[in-house]
Structure 1
Amino acid sequence: MSVTNLAPNATSAAAPEDEPKKKGGKKKKLLILLALVVVGAAAWFFLLKPPAAAPAPEPGETVALEPIQLNLEGGHYLRLGMALQLTADVHEEVDGSKALDAAIDLFSGREVAEVNTGKQREDLKTELLKRLKEAYHHDVLDVYFTEFVTQ
């Protein structure tokens, strides 16, 4: 009977030795997982993080252009005066001919009703600003209408 009693005691004595090994394995897995998370976060921060937005350009000089008359549909016309808000980086004199050409191209031939309403006028102004930014290589920040008379 003593032999039978030794076997269960031996098994019960071996069981506590297995438990610390399992706990040590869990700690290693947890440390490896934590290390992977830290490495992944560092990789995202240094490699995948989107670049910071460029600072907005500072406004500089405003250049007023001579008003022009544009032919609209049906014998009507538009007298358009505008000013260009330039960036502070522009130090030379700006040629307004590109701006006038863009305005003529955009407004000519349109109906009076198309340029008289506030919403459509703002849409046309946004389109004109887009064209001016392209023509002046982003040296124009905004465009202001100093005259806008239809007849």
Structure 2
Amino acid sequence: MSDQRIMGNPSKAKIGQRSSPEPAEAATPVSKAKGKGRRPLVLVLVAVLVLGAGAAYWFVLGPGSSQTAATQVTEEVESEVELGIVQAVDPISINLADGHYLRLGLGLQLSAEVAEDLDPAKALDRTIGLFSMRSLAEAGSAEGREALKAELATQLKEAYEGEVVDVYFTTYVTQ
């Protein structure tokens, strides 16, 4: 009699032998339980992401946006005042702090009600008063320049009693 040995995977069925149920079936209920435990966690994460995206839209682009509110106010003011011509003011040199200077040219946006050019003396006086002795860092940075421009526009609206609607920089050179 010869002894026959089969080498290989003991879980494989031998020729002529019926296969027994795989041990994977016993593991199936455990894996289903794992999947059920993760489902609420995934749903909570999806809900948080959706709410976060909604909040970001609201504050950045939507009705809660400060940029939208500022744009609406600007549009309301501009819609109330009909725009006229832009009066150019010759560039001037203004002394800044620490021996630096600023060469600044202005354009005054007039309302449509103004029939003739305005005297630029008030605009130049307010401009010199606002920009004189500012630091180069303040006058040279984009944020500083925009803040000074907004302040100048406010002062010119008051000085010209509504005849000047806005101000534009036509020349802006620092040294």
**Shorter chain as normaliser: what TM range?**
0.5 to 0.7
Residue by residue over 1:41-97, the C-alpha shift from the partner in whole angstroms, topping out at 9 and shown as x without a partner, is: xxxxxxxxxxxx886111001100000000000010000001000000001220001
Residue 127 of structure 2: aligned partner? 103
Residue 167 of structure 2: aligned partner? 143
Aligned-partner SS, 1:125: helix
Matches of 1:130 and 1:141, distance apart in 2: 9
Residue of 132, 145, 149 corresponding to 2:156: 132
Which amino acid letter does the alignment assign opposite residue 166 of structure 2? D
Displacement after TM superposition at 1:119 (Å) = 1.0
- In the alignment, does 2:95 pair up with 1:79? no
Q: Detail structure 1 runs of 4+ shifted over 2 Å in the superposition.
A: none
Which amino acid letter does the alignment assign opposite residue 133 of structure 1? K
Matches of 1:115 and 1:76, distance apart in 2: 10
- Map of 1:1-151 to 2, 5 A cutoff? 56-151=80-175
Identity fraction in percent: 53
Matches of 1:115 and 1:56, distance apart in 2: 32
Give the count of matched residue pairs: 99
Matches of 1:93 and 1:79, distance apart in 2: 23
Aligned-partner SS, 1:132: helix
The structure with the greater share of residues assigned to helix is: 1
Mark the runs of 5 or more structure 2 residues left unpaired by the alignment.
1-75
CA RMSD of aligned residues (A): 1.4
Mark the runs of 5 or more structure 1 residues left unpaired by the alignment.
1-52
Matches of 1:109 and 1:118, distance apart in 2: 18
Matches of 1:64 and 1:123, distance apart in 2: 21
Question: Normalization by structure 1: what TM-score?
Answer: 0.63
Which amino acid letter does the alignment assign opposite residue 116 of structure 2? E
Q: Which has the higher contact order (CA 8 A, sep 6+)?
A: 1
Residue 45 of structure 1: aligned partner? none
Which amino acid letter does the alignment assign opposite residue 141 of structure 1? V
Residue by residue over 1:113-142, the C-alpha shift from the partner in whole angstroms, topping out at 9 and shown as x without a partner, is: 011111111110000000000000011111
